[in-house]
């Protein structure tokens, strides 16, 4: 299937311009002789104790990536240098002497545990040197190494060689380079003898991309197009027949009347890997933009759009239409909701489901079966786009969106400009929810996504809730509520730009608890002051929660007075328990849509505004006086000129 693979291109896509191989092992195991024999193609008579760094040119191996080989000393005084070299290595060649069983035993008793202790991530190639001295009665390499490789999965491969007889010397470093450029670990689980989940998900995405007619199989034409795209060489009809015959013999369901199925496609790659042809699968992955972690390369998903702190990204109508389409495609039972299994299937071509952990896991409304509605589905994408546009775009690409980053998202107008124009064109609004612990913040968020207060968790961590809100004019807007834990406020406001992405802030207090109101008031003043000092003012609303309980009259009077003094709407009473929410979410969106209103003003802010007004009036008086003087002088000059001409 691979044909004439373009290995050089694949290696370059691996992001490696050179490979650094460090050779370690017990004294006298043949480390230095191995390196000299490779460089000179002959056995050295006199070998220095430690060779200087040796560089192989790019054209030494087919991958055309130069290799630097570092020799080491295992003497105790050189241990710090040995450790430093291992930590800087792309691959480690660990040697033992075939004629000295004690050096083989030392692999398990010292060297491999030591590499683990150093938390070495580089692949390890175990090399038995002095093959020419090995006793013919000794057991085979496979028998010797099988238990060691079972215990130490970091071993990529094992090989025996002879520097004296020039047996398999280049192969040692070829395998070391190959382990770096075409590693096994990301692709294949040696213990299970199966492709790893992330590899399967990537290959499934590639299969779907290449299945042009979407019939669930790669036809001969599609197989040939895939071959040309990956390996720059077509397949002959006999080769295509041969590939399908191999699959059909081993796995009948891998081929049907339409061509090679996904099962067959995955089987082929598992077969390549089992036969040591990892470069074939890596070439395919890299041609489709994957890096060594089997994720799309950063340069393919990087955000090319520059924006101010008070600008955010929203999905374009093109992306929303695409998401509606895949929602309907994966809603197999047509119940208007994606069950967890259907959602997992939708993300089966991504490295993992991006919504299985916070902040996305429980941020949207679900039905009794755990199904996610279309509005909830779109709201989660809106939240991911707000918090992490690069990750949002990557997952769009994983699930099949074909467009560029610039066609996926649009940049909103600056919030500062929206306030000046007294209007916003945004469709997605972010609301920060402040309040004391126990004030009802979390219950407010939970009610927004259809959950009862009994479902709530302690509000000691930041959480999000997102849903669509139908407005009075029939339009729908997406609202994202972000709960700010009381203990995080100081840290949040220490960042000058922390309020820049906020469209509206809500301050929740327990209407039967005077202390809760005092904390809400203090937080309101802190946020208002921060906005005045940074220019990132936000509309604010006060919410009096737990309206079903006995209210604190003092808290009610104080909150009403403070709201009037600061120029914002009086507190909005709600009861989550009684499901009497007083249209709170529409009111939040409405406040965000009028970004010039409901902006609280502190006493300092008022004094500053009054000073500016006084200064402006003074400047106006001065300018008017100057204008009068200029007009008077001009009139006098005209009068004098006329008088002179008449005389």
Mean pLDDT for the stretch of residues 325-332? 96
Task: Decide: helix, strand or coil at residue 101.
Answer: helix
> For 110, which DSSP code?
I
Same structural domain, 431 and 563? yes
CB 360, CB 343: distance < 8 Å? no
Q: Is the pLDDT of residue 296 over 60?
A: yes
Q: Is the dihedral of CA 371, 374, 376, 381 positive or negative?
A: positive
Give the range of the structural domain holding residue 34, as residue numbers without chain letter. Answer: 1-181
| Backbone torsions φ then ψ of 477, nearest 5 degrees | -125, 150
CB 428, CB 413: distance < 8 Å? no
Predicted local distance difference test score (pLDDT) of residue 456: 47
Predicted local distance difference test score (pLDDT) of residue 606: 80
**What percent of the chain lies above the pLDDT cut of 70?**
90
User: Does some domain include residue 555?
Assistant: yes
Task: Identify the burial level of 638 via C-beta atoms within 10 angstroms of its C-beta, where 0-12 means exposed, 13-18 middle and 19 or more buried.
Answer: exposed
The larger pLDDT score, comparing residue 5 to residue 100, is at 100
Same structural domain, 45 and 148? yes
> For 454, which DSSP code?
G
User: Does some domain include residue 609?
Assistant: no
pLDDT in tens, 616-639: 666 665 665 555 555 556 656 665
Q: Is the pLDDT of residue 2 over 80?
A: no
User: Does some domain include residue 590?
Assistant: no
What are 590's two structure tokens?
């409405």
pLDDT in tens, 591-606: 999 999 999 999 887 8
Tell me the whole-structure pTM to 2 decimals.
0.84
Predicted local distance difference test score (pLDDT) of residue 13: 47
β 259-261/313-315 pair status: unpaired
Same structural domain, 331 and 392? yes
pLDDT in tens, 78-91: 999 999 999 999 99
β 313-315/91-97 pair status: unpaired
CB 612, CB 604: distance < 8 Å? no
Mean pLDDT for the stretch of residues 354-378? 95
**Confidence grade of residue 505 (pLDDT, cut at 50, 70, 90):** very high
The larger pLDDT score, comparing residue 134 to residue 254, is at 254
β 372-373/337-338 pair status: antiparallel
Predicted local distance difference test score (pLDDT) of residue 143: 84
Domain boundary among the residues 122, 157, 181 is at 181
Same structural domain, 130 and 72? yes
Hunting for tokens 């061509």 — which residue is that?
259
> For 109, which DSSP code?
I
**139 vs 146, 251, 564, CA distance in Å?**
12, 35, 90
Number of domains in the chain: 5
Same structural domain, 401 and 502? no
Mean pLDDT for the stretch of residues 87-101? 95
Same structural domain, 8 and 95? yes
Q: Degrees (nearest 5) of the Cα angle 554, 571, 612?
A: 100
User: Does some domain include residue 84?
Assistant: yes
Mean pLDDT is lowest, of 383-397, 579-593, 619-633, for: 619-633
Domain boundary among the residues 181, 214, 237 is at 181
User: Does some domain include residue 104?
Assistant: yes
What are 389's two structure tokens?
């546009």
Q: Distance (Å, rounded) from C-alpha 125 to C-alpha 155? A: 6
Which residues does 483 contact at the CB level (< 8 Å), separation at least 6? 433, 441, 442, 445, 459, 462, 463, 464, 465
pLDDT in tens, 18-29: 999 999 999 999
User: Does some domain include residue 607?
Assistant: no
Which residues does 167 contact at the CB level (< 8 Å), separation at least 6? 131, 132, 160, 161
What are 409's two structure tokens?
């998202």
Q: Distance (Å, rounded) from C-alpha 238 to C-alpha 244? A: 10
Domain with residue 248: its CATH number is 1.10.238.10
Predicted local distance difference test score (pLDDT) of residue 136: 74
> For 111, which DSSP code?
I
| Backbone torsions φ then ψ of 505, nearest 5 degrees | -120, 140
Mean pLDDT for the stretch of residues 331-355? 96
Same structural domain, 272 and 329? no
Same structural domain, 201 and 84? no
**Confidence grade of residue 529 (pLDDT, cut at 50, 70, 90):** very high
| Backbone torsions φ then ψ of 47, nearest 5 degrees | -115, 130
- DSSP for 373-438? EHHHHHHHHHHHHHH-HHHHHHHHHHTT--S-HHHHEEEPPPHHHHHHHT----SEEEEEEEE-TT
pLDDT in tens, 53-66: 999 999 999 888 99
pLDDT in tens, 202-211: 999 999 999 9
Same structural domain, 484 and 630? no
Q: Is the pLDDT of residue 495 over 90?
A: yes
Three-state secondary structure readout of 351-389: CCCCCCCCCCCCCCCECCCCCEEHHHHHHHHHHHHHHCH
Same structural domain, 92 and 213? no
Predicted local distance difference test score (pLDDT) of residue 150: 86
Hunting for tokens 């930590």 — which residue is that?
87
Q: How many CB atoms lie within 10 A of CB 319?
A: 22
Q: Is the pLDDT of residue 291 over 90?
A: yes
Mean pLDDT is lowest, of 36-50, 236-250, 449-463, for: 449-463
Mean pLDDT is lowest, of 17-31, 183-197, 262-276, 479-493, for: 183-197
What are 554's two structure tokens?
């003092």
CB 435, CB 486: distance < 8 Å? yes
Domain boundary among the residues 279, 299, 319 is at 299
Domain with residue 109: its CATH number is 3.40.50.300
CB 581, CB 449: distance < 8 Å? no
| Backbone torsions φ then ψ of 86, nearest 5 degrees | -65, -40
Same structural domain, 273 and 333? no
Same structural domain, 291 and 331? no
Q: Distance (Å, rounded) from C-alpha 461 to C-alpha 540? A: 22
Task: Identify the burial level of 578 via C-beta atoms within 10 angstroms of its C-beta, where 0-12 means exposed, 13-18 middle and 19 or more buried.
Answer: exposed
Task: Decide: helix, strand or coil at residue 151.
Answer: helix
User: Does some domain include residue 95?
Assistant: yes
Hunting for tokens 């009028």 — which residue is that?
594
CB 630, CB 569: distance < 8 Å? no
User: By C-alpha distance, which of 474, 481, 472 is closest to 506?
Assistant: 481
What are 46's two structure tokens?
């006199």
- DSSP for 530-590? HHHHHS----EEEEEE-TTSPP-HHHHHHHHHHHHHHTSPPPEE-BTTTTB-TTHHHHHHH
């Amino acid at each position: 299937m691979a044909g004439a693979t373009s290995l050089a291109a694949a290696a370059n896509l691996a992001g490696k311009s050179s490979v650094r191989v460090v050779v370690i092992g017990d004294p006298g195991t043949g480390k230095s002789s191995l390196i000299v024999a490779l460089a000179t193609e002959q056995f050295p008579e006199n070998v220095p104790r430690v060779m200087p760094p040796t560089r192989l040119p790019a054209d030494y191996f087919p991958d055309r990536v130069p290799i630097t080989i570092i020799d080491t000393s295992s003497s105790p005084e050189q241990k710090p240098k040995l450790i430093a070299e291992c930590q800087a290595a792309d691959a480690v060649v660990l040697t033992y002497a075939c004629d000295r069983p004690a050096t083989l035993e030392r692999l398990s008793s010292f060297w491999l545990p030591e590499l683990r202790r150093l938390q070495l991530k580089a692949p390890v190639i175990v090399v038995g040197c002095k093959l020419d001295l090995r006793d013919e009665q000794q057991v085979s390499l496979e028998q010797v190494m099988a238990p060691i490789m079972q215990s130490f999965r970091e071993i990529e491969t094992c090989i025996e060689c002879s520097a004296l007889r020039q047996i398999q010397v280049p192969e040692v470093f070829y395998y070391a380079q190959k382990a770096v450029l075409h590693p096994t670990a990301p692709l294949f689980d040696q213990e299970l003898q199966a492709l790893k989940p992330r590899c399967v998900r990537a290959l499934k995405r590639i299969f779907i991309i290449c299945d042009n007619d979407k019939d669930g199989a790669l036809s001969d034409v599609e197989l040939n197009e895939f071959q040309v795209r990956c390996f720059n060489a077509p397949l002959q009809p006999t080769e295509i027949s041969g590939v399908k015959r191999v699959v059909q013999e081993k796995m009948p369901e891998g081929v049907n009347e339409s061509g090679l199925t996904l099962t067959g496609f995955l089987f082929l790659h598992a077969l390549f890997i089992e036969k040591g042809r990892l470069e074939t699968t890596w070439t395919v992955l890299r041609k489709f933009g994957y890096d060594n972690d089997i994720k799309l390369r950063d340069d393919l998903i990087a955000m090319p759009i520059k924006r101010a702190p008070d600008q955010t990204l929203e999905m374009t109508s093109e992306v929303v239409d695409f998401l509606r389409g895949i929602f309907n495609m994966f809603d197999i039972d047509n119940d208007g909701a994606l069950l967890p299994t259907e959602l997992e299937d939708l993300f089966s071509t991504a490295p993992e489901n991006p919504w299985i952990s916070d902040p996305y896991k429980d941020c949207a409304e679900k039905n009794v079966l755990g199904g996610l509605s279309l509005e909830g589905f779109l709201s989660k994408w809106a939240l991911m786009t707000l918090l992490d546009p690069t990750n949002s775009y990557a997952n769009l690409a994983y699930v099949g969106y074909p467009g560029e980053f610039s066609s996926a998202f649009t940049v909103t107008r600056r919030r500062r400009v929206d306030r000046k124009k007294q209007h916003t064109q945004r469709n997605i609004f972010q609301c920060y929810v402040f309040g004391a612990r126990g004030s009802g913040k979390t219950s407010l968020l939970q009610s927004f996504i259809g959950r009862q207060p009994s479902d709530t968790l302690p509000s000691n961590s930041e959480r999000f809730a997102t849903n669509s809100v139908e407005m009075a004019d029939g339009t729908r807007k997406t609202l994202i509520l972000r709960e700010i834990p009381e203990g995080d406020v100081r840290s949040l406001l220490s960042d000058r730009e922390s309020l820049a992405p906020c469209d509206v802030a809500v301050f929740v207090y327990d209407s039967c608890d005077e202390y809760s109101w005092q904390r809400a008031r203090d937080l309101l003043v802190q946020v208002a002051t921060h906005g005045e000092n940074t220019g990132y003012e936000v509309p604010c609303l006060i919410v009096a929660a737990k309206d079903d309980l006995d209210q604190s009259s003092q808290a009610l009077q104080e909150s009403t007075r403070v709201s009037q003094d600061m120029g914002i709407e009086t507190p909005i009473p709600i009861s989550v328990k009684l499901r009497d929410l007083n249209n709170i979410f529409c009111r939040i969106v409405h406040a965000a849509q009028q970004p010039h209103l409901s902006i609280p003003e502190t006493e300092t802010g008022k004094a500053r505004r009054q000073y500016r007004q006084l200064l402006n009036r003074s400047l106006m008086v001065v300018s008017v006086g100057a204008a009068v003087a200029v007009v008077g002088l001009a009139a006098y000059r005209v009068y004098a000129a006329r008088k002179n001409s008449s005389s």
